[in-house]
Amino acid sequence: MTLNRRAFLGTAAAATVLSAPMLRAQGRPKVVVVGGGAGGATVARYIAKDSQGAIDVTLVEPTRTYYTCFFSNLYIGGFRDFSSIGHTYGGLASEFGVNVVHDWAVGVDRDANTVTLASGGVLPYDRLVLSPGIDFKDGSVPGWSTAAQNKMPHSWKAGSQTQLLKAQIEAMPEGGTFAMVAPPNPYRCPPGPYERISMVAFYLRENNPTAKILVADPKAKFSKQPLFEEAWNSSYTGMVDWIGPDFGGENVEVRPDSMELIIDGEVEQVDVCNVVPGQKAGRIAEMAGLTAENGFCDIVPATMQSRVDENIHVLGDATNGGDMPKSGFSANSHAKVAAMAIRGALTDSRVFPAKFSNTCWSLVDTENGIKVGATYEATEEKIAKVDGFVSQTGENSALRKATYEESLGWYAGITADMFG
């Protein structure tokens, strides 16, 4: 990325001269955002706030209360109330003038530039932002489908699934077995499955100490692995049995009706089975025809525009995000770049170089937090890593406590940044 600022501004000015008069003739330019999570809520808030009414922003999100996936593991461990991870959209509407529509987007007409809603409504747009999160790949775990999600929850979209999993863990018999089928790459929140294992282990150590945890994993290695393994060995000694691909962890099948997990031909009878399947972009991205072969959407890094349609921006977990992991922090970071680019294209506001960053905190035991993070820049080809860091094994308890407290500050910060 060697464009200097003047070259950037020149490009932006040229684009504005062409597009602004045409759009103004039709009234305020319209932005429709589909999905009200870390990407969608942030982009709606930033466009509405920074354009000060010059852009009409509509946010389409089916749920009235949005539960964040980040920190849902802390609820499972007993460190957060469920209500503390729930957020509503009242502030976006009242403080920033975002039109919040609680409905499902069921279609995108890319020739007419409209979004169709389940209720039958049709929303025209000058720019569309899709931030639909993830859906699950059919057949990723033999024997499992979303029809089985009440017996074997995924709990990889927060809400009732999260509550169900916690209830199942609490109902485990003494000395019972919690199993997880971990997802293949790429998936939402790389450290998430292992933070979840740590939080389940914490709950069981306190409440059901003879219980066991079994993880079948198709991946040979995973995010922050030495840090998680250190915690499992020291805090939950003998409780966690992680089975990687060398021992058949990629060869699994589930039988939800009989609560069986078959790992490499061996049948395990389990009490709870958390199946986190392989993932793809949220369905609306696929219906809009924006997904690449791997199920996610290719984007132009400098603006987060779809490689398929320049009037559509795609954010967050639904993208092929280059070196960036799929996380709420990443989606929030994508949203700020997209908001800046969209305002630049639809009004005469200035355009700046894209800057991205991400940090993922995980809690492994009481006041024992770890983190990994990096900064990124937009190259022609992809979002490319600039610099990064990760917590170290053997850190002292004061540092781990400070890291945990920092994660609480981050949660307060990012949710304020999303919802106002």
Partner 1 sequence: MRLASLLAAALSMAAPAFAQTPIGDADAGKTVFAQCSACHEIGQGAKSRIGPHLNELFGRKAAGIDGFRYSKSLERAGADGLVWTLDKLDAYLENPRVLVSGTRMSFRGLRKKKDRDDVLAYLRAFSESPANIPEAEPTARKVEVELPPEVLAIKGDVAYGEYLSSECKTCHQLDGSDAGIPSITLWPEEDFVLAMHAYKQKIRIHPVMQMMAGRLSDEEIAALAAYFGSLE
Q: How far out from the chain centre does Cα 300 lie?
A: 19
Kindly report the number of other CB atoms within 10 A of residue 205's CB atom: 15
The nearest distance, CB 196 to partner 1, in angstroms, is: 22
Closest to partner 1 by CB, 275 vs 337, is 337
Closest to partner 1 by CB, 309 vs 406, is 406
Residue in this structure with the two tokens 């150590």, named with its chain if needed: 205
The nearest distance, CB 178 to partner 1, in angstroms, is: 30
Closest to partner 1 by CB, 18 vs 398, is 398
- Give DSSP secondary structure letters for 138-196: TTSSTT--GGGTTTS----SSSHHHHHHHHHHHTPPTT-EEEEEPPPSS-B-TTHHHHH
Please name which of 18, 34, 3 lies closest in space to residue 121, comparing C-alpha atoms: 34
- Give DSSP secondary structure letters for 331-377: HHHHHHHHHHHHHHHHSS------EEEEEEEEEEETTEEEEEEEEEE
Q: How far is CA 364 from CA 29, 196, 215, 230, 392, in A?
A: 47, 9, 16, 10, 14
Q: What are phi and psi of 130, to 5 degrees?
A: -105, 120
* Residue 408 binds partner 1, judged by CB under 8 A: yes
**Region 45-74 residues binding partner 1, contact defined as CB under 8 A:** 46, 50
d(CA 337, CA 355): 7
* Residue 416 binds partner 1, judged by CB under 8 A: yes
Residues sharing a CB contact under 8 Å with residue 310, sequence separation 6 or more, in sequence order: none
Q: Among residues 371, 378, 383, 419, which is the contact residue for partner 1, using CB under 8 A?
A: 371
Closest to partner 1 by CB, 296 vs 329, is 329
**Region 324-353 residues binding partner 1, contact defined as CB under 8 A:** 329, 332-333, 336, 339-340, 350, 352
* Residue 417 binds partner 1, judged by CB under 8 A: yes
* Residue 359 binds partner 1, judged by CB under 8 A: yes
The nearest distance, CB 250 to partner 1, in angstroms, is: 34
For residues 391 and 231, the answer to whether their CB atoms sit within 8 Å is no
Closest to partner 1 by CB, 106 vs 408, is 408
Q: How far out from the chain centre does Cα 164 lie?
A: 20
* Residue 163 binds partner 1, judged by CB under 8 A: no
* Residue 109 binds partner 1, judged by CB under 8 A: no
Choices 29-37, 74-82, 176-184, 404-412 (CB under 8 A): range interacting with partner 1: 404-412
Q: Among residues 34, 200, 342, 374, which is the contact residue for partner 1, using CB under 8 A?
A: 374
Q: Which residues bind partner 1 (CB under 8 A)?
A: 5, 46, 50, 329, 332-333, 336, 339-340, 350, 352, 355, 357, 359, 371, 373-375, 377, 386-389, 405-414, 416-417
